[in-house]
């Protein structure tokens, strides 16, 4: 391994965000170095993609490869035991922009390996098993980056621009002391892979199933090889009641819903059960002189609408465009930076509106309010707007905005009308976060 190297751009982290930014910048002719601390294929959570992710995969030139490892996901299915309608399936084909009627469920070890390999094919100088340990951001012109290989070799790099795509490690946000816990959302997750979980039939076989339950919500994500990714996202107070090993606790939690228990009847756990606590945060800094934070390295809210990978890749793709212009020395740098920041924040805010309210009784009922056959015209439009958000149409499509606004107004009106219930929920949430 060479001990000193210079590149135009150095990307920290070879997950979806890092590989996207690295690939697109290399395609534009910049010299790009990508450093990944793990070695692909490696386990990662975040297996359910959104339809709007597909154009990015196409642009990167990996859509066919992802299709080969992916399970087609036509819809997101919601399940509740507290509403007259117990199950509703939100088909992406009914989104307002219906050009992308499906997405894929992917094993992240395979997906991330495809993206990383694609970077190498595009000319990125990519290294695995190399952790970035320090970055000197103070230098004007060239930044210096210190790294350590998993064989113990100390490495030194220089570059003009650093992109931090280190995911939940939030490398630069930590260094800059810019990481802030999300005060509006505090949940924790336990999850694992199972075989023998009953799937839906036909075209619905690849859909994600989401179940509300008293302690949060549960996901079932069918993967292509027959394995089911199963996870419970819970209030922290519930997780603190755990007195058994994680696998037993997860199995006990899944037994709390009779329909789920039936689907899990012949299920067998494969490998470890993982836990991620307190996962919602954002960095107060998105970029500065010669550096940019993308994907989870900047912010993460919640997995309920499967938006993490899409927001990370879209932010990285837009970030690559921005870095390209900044490296070229555009005179419109300030304007481009402001537009980029607005877009990233808008996408996160649009999804967060739903995430923050997902467990409220009013949104729960609204999402499960009527099946398609019973809907009037406006209910149909509002549902199409919600499906658009679930597809990843989160950057201000004017056709989505009006019905989405109506949906939100309806939510606020119903919350006021049921003020007692709303206040009871807020008090419950305050206790459940402890």
Ligand X SMILES: Cc1cc2nc3c(=O)[nH]c(=O)nc-3n(C[C@H](O)[C@H](O)[C@H](O)COP(=O)(O)OP(=O)(O)OC[C@H]3O[C@@H](n4cnc5c(N)ncnc54)[C@H](O)[C@@H]3O)c2cc1C
Nearer to ligand X, 300 or 411 (CB): 300
Contact 235, 280 (CB under 8 A): no
Under rule CB under 6 A, how many of the chain's residues touch ligand X? 41
5, 44, 87, 408: which one binds ligand X (CB under 6 A)? 44
Torsion 200-301-70-55 (CA) sign? positive
Taking 3-state DSSP, the helix, strand and coil percentages for the chain, each rounded to the nearest 5, stand at 40, 25, 30
CA–CA distance, 224 with 105 (Å, rounded to integer): 8
Torsion 297-299-301-307 (CA) sign? negative
Nearer to ligand X, 75 or 165 (CB): 165
DSSP string, 345-379: HHHHHHHHHHHHHTTSHHHHHHHTS--GGG--HHH
Which of 333-347 are b and which e, b meaning 16 or more Cβ less than 10 Å from the residue's Cβ? eeeebeebeebbeeb
Nearer to ligand X, 297 or 368 (CB): 297
Least CB distance to ligand X at residue 253 (A): 14
CA–CA distance, 162 with 347 (Å, rounded to integer): 23
Least CB distance to ligand X at residue 9 (A): 15
Nearer to ligand X, 15 or 222 (CB): 15
Q: Which two tokens stand for residue 203?
A: 């075209």
Q: Is 178 in the site for ligand X (CB under 6 A)?
A: no
Q: Is 166 in the site for ligand X (CB under 6 A)?
A: yes
Cis peptide before 40 (omega within 30 of 0): no
CA–CA distance, 410 with 416 (Å, rounded to integer): 10
Least CB distance to ligand X at residue 423 (A): 30
Segment 299 to 338, residues that bind ligand X, using CB under 6 A: 300, 303, 306-310, 312
39, 168, 177, 240: which one binds ligand X (CB under 6 A)? 168
Contact 74, 387 (CB under 8 A): no
Q: Is 15 in the site for ligand X (CB under 6 A)?
A: yes
27, 98, 169, 259: which one binds ligand X (CB under 6 A)? 169
Q: Is 347 in the site for ligand X (CB under 6 A)?
A: no
102, 161, 171, 281: which one binds ligand X (CB under 6 A)? 171
DSSP symbol at 200? P
Task: Write down the number of H helices and E strands in the chain.
Answer: 14, 20
Binding piece for ligand X, criterion CB under 6 A, among 8-16, 85-93, 194-202, 425-433: 8-16
Binding piece for ligand X, criterion CB under 6 A, among 15-23, 95-103, 234-242, 246-254: 15-23
Q: Which two tokens stand for residue 15?
A: 């997950």
CA 325 to chain centre: 27
Nearer to ligand X, 34 or 96 (CB): 34
Q: Is 367 in the site for ligand X (CB under 6 A)?
A: no
Binding mask 192-231 for ligand X (x = CB under 6 A): ---------------------------------------x
Q: Is 46 in the site for ligand X (CB under 6 A)?
A: yes
CA–CA distance, 302 with 300 (Å, rounded to integer): 6
Binding mask 110-139 for ligand X (x = CB under 6 A): ---------------------xx-------
77, 110, 296, 318: which one binds ligand X (CB under 6 A)? 296
CB within 8 A of 98, min separation 6: which ones? 92
DSSP symbol at 183? T
Q: Is 188 in the site for ligand X (CB under 6 A)?
A: no
Q: Is 179 in the site for ligand X (CB under 6 A)?
A: no
Binding piece for ligand X, criterion CB under 6 A, among 94-102, 164-172, 349-357, 420-428: 164-172
Q: Which two tokens stand for residue 372?
A: 């398609």
Least CB distance to ligand X at residue 190 (A): 8
Q: Which parts of this chain interact with ligand X (CB under 6 A)?
A: 12-18, 35-38, 44-49, 131-132, 165-169, 171, 189, 191, 231, 276, 279, 295-297, 300, 303, 306-310, 312
């Amino acid at each position: 391994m060479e001990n000193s190297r210079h590149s135009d751009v150095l990307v920290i982290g070879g997950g979806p965000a890092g590989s996207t930014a690295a690939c697109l910048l290399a395609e534009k002719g910049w010299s790009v170095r990508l450093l990944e601390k793990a070695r692909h294929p490696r386990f990662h959570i975040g297996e359910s993609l959104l339809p709007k992710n597909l154009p990015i995969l196409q642009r990167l030139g990996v859509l066919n490869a992802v299709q080969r490892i992916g399970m087609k996901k036509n819809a997101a299915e919601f399940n509740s035991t507290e509403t007259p309608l117990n199950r509703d399936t939100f088909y992406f084909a009914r989104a307002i922009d219906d050009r992308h009627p499906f997405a894929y469920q992917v094993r992240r070890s395979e997906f991330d390996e495809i993206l990383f390999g694609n970077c190498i094919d595009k000319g990125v100088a990519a290294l695995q098993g190399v952790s970035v340990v320090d970055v000197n951001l103070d230098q004007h012109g060239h930044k210096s980056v210190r790294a350590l290989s998993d064989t113990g070799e100390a490495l030194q790099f220089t570059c003009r621009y650093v992109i931090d795509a280190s995911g939940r490690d939030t490398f630069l946000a930590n260094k800059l002391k810019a990481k802030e816990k999300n005060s509006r959302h505090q949940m924790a997750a336990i999850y694992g892979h199972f075989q023998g979980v009953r799937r839906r039939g036909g075209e619905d076989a690849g859909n994600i199933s989401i179940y509300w339950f008293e302690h949060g919500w549960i996901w079932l994500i069918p993967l292509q090889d027959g394995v089911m990714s199963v996870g419970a996202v819970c209030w922290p107070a519930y997780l603190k009641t755990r007195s058994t090993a994680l696998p037993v606790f997860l199995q006990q939690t899944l037994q709390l819903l009779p329909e789920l228990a039936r689907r899990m009847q012949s299920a067998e756990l494969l490998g470890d059960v993982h836990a991620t606590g307190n996962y919602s945060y954002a960095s107060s800094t998105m970029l500065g002189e010669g550096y940019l934070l993308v994907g989870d390295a900047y912010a993460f809210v919640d997995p309920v609408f499967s938006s993490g990978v899409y927001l990370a890749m879209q932010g990285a793709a837009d970030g690559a465009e921005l870095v390209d212009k900044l490296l070229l020395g555009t005179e419109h740098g300030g304007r481009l930076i402001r537009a980029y920041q607005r877009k990233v924040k808008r996408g996160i805010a649009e999804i967060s509106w739903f995430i923050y309210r997902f467990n409220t009784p009013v949104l729960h009922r609204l999402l499960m309010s009527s099946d398609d056959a019973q809907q009037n015209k406006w209910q149909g439009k509002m549902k199409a707007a919600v499906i658009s958000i679930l597809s990843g149409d989160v950057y201000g499509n004017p056709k989505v905005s009006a019905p989405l606004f109506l949906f939100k107004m309806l939510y606020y009106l119903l919350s006021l009308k049921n003020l007692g219930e709303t206040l009871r929920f807020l008090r419950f949430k305050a206790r459940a976060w402890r």
